[in-house]
Structure 1
Amino acid sequence: MARFIRDILATLSYEPAKAPADREELSRLDQRLAHFADKGAGTGGTISIQPDECSVWDGNPRDQPGLTADSCRSLIESIASEGGNRIPVLVRLNPPGSDRPYQLLVGSRRRFAVGWLNHNGRPDLRLTALVVDLSDEEAFRLADIENRERADISELDRARSYQHAVDRFYGGVQSRMAEALNLSNSQLSRLIALAQLPQEVIDAFATRDELRVRYSELLTPLLRQAGQRGRMIAEAQLIGEQQQALARQGDRLIPPATVLARLREAAMPPSQEEARDIAIMAGGARIGRAKPSRGGGLTVDLSIAEDADLDELLARLRETIVAVRATPLL
């Protein structure tokens, strides 16, 4: 078994599968696992366990709460029709004293699907598994091979797992990790840069699935300048609040291209007139801006959430108007 798994690590390609996300075609790793299970049928090559008998290893980048019956529908139907998962999951023994005997390394979707079926009319189904003896670093590489072949793992989830793994498994040396994963140093650097985006910028996008490495390549250089960074984070906070308000109202959310354009625009140095704008704050968040006009009037832009405290908002607005009136024109 150990030789079989290490042969997979040594020979499998890291190029992601080209099949559409909605098709359950076998990936290269799946093909190898299915072939091994078929070849070893009846010889003790695989075991049958209950899904709850294994905990999920924390080194796998897949977002476990993100697995739902809808996202796994075709897999659930396939396993139900075949009477089990033909492609085995990979588990290893948990340390003595653990509350579950096994630790799941590869096969989160299959585990979820069998567990869902157990609770929805098919309590007889068991999870077919291969027990392997792998180090954490080997387990990470194997999970990475499988996850690169899946379209339902976000680039952000993968980037965050890489950021965590470079310290956990490779002593903080990116070049060592890049070599082990068959990536170029630049590819790995771009992925880790995505994971290092400020949380305010991440929250500005409607979903984290919308974040792409190419966005990070555009935003990261701008975020390195202190002045630009402050303006971009302020704009990101405003966009995030607007996204939340739109979601509560059931309206269409701000698309990623618009979010990206607004963040890049915020990085541009303000004009002399824009520099005199005063932010309007309420509840610790920016809700708009005010600026004096040369005609003696006042321009106010507001973005008011549905559940905003109107008394506090009006009080902050009054304070801002007084401050703007006291600002001398240039």
Structure 2
Amino acid sequence: MARFIRDILAALSYEPPVDKGPVDQESLSRLDQRLAPFADKGAGPRSAMAIQPGECSVWDGNPRDQPGLTAENCRSLIDSIASEGGNRIPVLVRLNPPGSDRPYQLLVGSRRRFAVDWLNHHGRPDMRLSALVVDLSDEEAFRLADIENRERADISELDRARSYQNAVDRFYGGVQSRMAEALNLSNSQLSRLLALAQLPEEVVGAFATRDELRVRYSELLTPLLRRPDQRGRMVAEARLIGEQQQTLALQGERMIPPATVLARLREAATPHAPEDARDIAIIAGGTRIGRAKASRSGGLTVDLSIAEDADLDELLARLRETIVAVRGV
């Protein structure tokens, strides 16, 4: 089995994506397609076995955000596994070291494990998890999980970046070029991901959700964070935005969009001449269309430059968000 998995690693590392066509459950990754023929249980060395989800601890090298798995975001998979009587694509596990409280360690298949475990607690207690037991090193397990998760839309760029940040020291001796070669990435691609992982927590918290934070944003923000004075101003603004996001969420209102967050962070890092009040950019469609300023007397000044083809609904929504933000300064 180990030889078979290593053959998969060698092949999938360089295979281009294929047109998989329609499927009747979650879209299959290329790894899933390779594993599907071994779903049938049997006595052969490459046959899947049935285990209980609770017999697996989740390997900490997998980039997936385990607490983020819920019945809601796994609903289609839960329904598919329930109708088929089990997971059609086996998960990959390896034996835990002696003395561990669980016999297996889950390497690939977090969503399938979650779905079967959920069904066990909601009317299907006898359902088991189809699993293949493999013998892989940590580095091989990381590459295998990465191959699968690169094709998953529900893995955020931030989760993937933080996984890479941990892996470069843990599996590749801190040598970025070794990791890039192993993952079939360019050094520049890997550098951009690692820069995203290194953004301050305050900056991450300024965005409404982790999914909104993109690699391209870190490319704009990272150079501004290198100078201590600019970093301090940006982090302070990020804290303010984060507090405003929390208030909007509690009130059930639309949260500050990522383009506005990005513009405010970049503007905060740039020194301003002393003024009676702070300016906050008004961003619509990714373009600055004006500014809002609160005076010490409590008034509010708004300057706008509106194009003829401007989307008035979006403009008014952005204007409202900005006014709320200025009042909170």
**Is TM > 0.5 for Structure 1 vs Structure 2?**
yes
Q: TM-score, normalised by structure 2?
A: 0.81
The aligned residue for residue 82 of structure 1 is 84
Q: Who is 1:323 aligned against?
A: none
Note the C-alpha offset of 1:299: 7.5
**Kindly tell me: are residues 299 and 225 of structure 1, through their superposed partners in 2, closer, same or farther at Cα, counting changes over 3 Å?**
farther
Q: Identical aligned pairs, as a percentage?
A: 80
Matching residue of 1:220: 222
2:129 aligned residue (117, 127, 130): 127
Q: Which residue of 1 aligns with 2:271?
A: 269
CA distance in 2, matches of 1:55, 1:145: 21
Larger Rg: 1
Deviation at 1:113, TM superposition (A): 0.4
Taking the TM superposition and a 5 Å limit, the aligned residue runs for 1:121-200 are: 121-200=123-202
Offset of residue 16 of structure 1: 6.6
Structure 1, 6-15 or 78-87: larger mean CA deviation: 6-15
Give, in whole Å, the separation in 1 of the partners of 2:77 and 2:221: 37
Tell me how far 1:272 sits from its aligned partner: 3.8
- Render the CA deviation track for 1:163-206: whole Å, top value 9, x for unaligned: 00000000000000000000000000000000000111000001
Provide TM-score, normalisation by structure 1. 0.81
Q: Do structure 1's residue 43 and structure 2's residue 44 form an aligned pair?
A: yes
1:231-288, Cα deviation, whole Å (9 max, x unpaired): 11111111011111111111111111110111111122212436x98xxxxxxxxxxx
SS at match of 2:39: helix
Q: Tell me the secondary structure at the aligned position of residue 168 of structure 2.
A: helix
1:291–1:298 CA contact under 8 A, matched in 2: yes
Taking a change above 3 Å as real, the CA distance of residues 18 and 192 of structure 1, as seen in their structure-2 partners, is farther
Map 1:285-324 onto structure 2 (within 5 A): 303=328
Distance 1:245 1:272 in 2: 29
Question: Residues 209, 238 of structure 1: CA spacing in aligned structure 2 closer, same or farther, 3 A cutoff?
Answer: same
| Unmatched tracts of structure 2, length 5 or more | 279-292, 301-325
Superposition RMSD on alpha carbons, in Å?
2.5
Distance 1:254 1:16, change over 3 A: farther
2:241 to 221, 239, 242: 239
Cα distance in structure 1, aligned partners of 2:261 and 2:80: 39
Alignment deviations for residues 113-171 of structure 1 (CA, whole Å, 9 cap, x no partner) = 00001111111110010000000000000011111111101110000000000000000
Q: Is the 8 A contact 1:48 1:126 kept in 2?
A: yes
Distance 1:6 1:53 in 2: 25
Aligned to 1:30: 32
